[in-house]
Structure 1
Amino acid sequence: MRPLIAATATPEHPMPWGWLLAALALAAVGYAASCAWWPFTRCGRCEGRGRFTRADSKVWRPCRRCKGSGARLRVGRRVWNRFARVRQAGR
């Protein structure tokens, strides 16, 4: 006869929640530092070229999304700027 196992029995290898949370916190700090150091990324619409060209490459127009610069502000940096603006307005 097999012994009964209680419904609240813990597994032999419990999930290391502390390590998982530490890894997530480290990733968040790393991304924040990356956004502070490199606030821009290439524009996804024009692939960083800043313009669109016709098939024969003789006629081009600037990209509307990045306004011809080829760079866009990263999402994390946009969040940081909004936070800083709201914080400044509260003073």
Structure 2
Amino acid sequence: MNPDLLIASAVTIPALFITIRYVAKCCIQPFGTCRKCQGKRHLPKRIGRGTHECRRCKGTGLRLRWGRHLFNFTRRLHSDGTR
């Protein structure tokens, strides 16, 4: 077997597997936990006591995944272009 082909397949096959797995995750579970509040929905105030809603997720604790953003954008672009 050619060493160049072996190296190329050793890099390509895991990358393809990871990509397919991420696409499946975006389709099955489009929302992930918010990175700022870690899904807790509230953040502590800087001064004093108490908490306030997370501005990034608007208090839901969830965010739309990057891959799902891309999918929604391309779907919207296609539907707007074919009307």
- TM-score, normalised via structure 1 length: 0.73
Partner in structure 2 of residue 14 of structure 1: 3
Give percent identity, aligned residues only.
Answer: 31
Partner in structure 1 of residue 33 of structure 2: 42
In structure 1, the gaps of 5 or more residues are: 1-11
Q: Between Structure 1 and Structure 2, how many residues are aligned?
A: 78
Q: Which has the larger radius of gyration?
A: 1
Partner in structure 1 of residue 44 of structure 2: 53
1:24 Cα deviation from its structure 2 partner:
1.9
RMSD: 2.1
Report the secondary structure of 2:43's partner residue. strand
Q: For 2:43 and 2:13, how far apart are their aligned partners in 1?
A: 44
Q: For 2:77 and 2:40, how far apart are their aligned partners in 1?
A: 33
Counterpart amino acid of 1:24? A
Counterpart amino acid of 1:43? C
- Report matched runs for 1:1-91 at 5 Å: 14-15=3-4, 16=6, 17-54=8-45, 59-91=50-82
* Poorly superposed stretches of 4+, deviation over 6 Å: none
Report the secondary structure of 2:56's partner residue. coil
Counterpart amino acid of 1:45? K
- TM-score, normalised via structure 2 length: 0.79
1:46 Cα deviation from its structure 2 partner:
0.9
1:53 Cα deviation from its structure 2 partner:
2.6
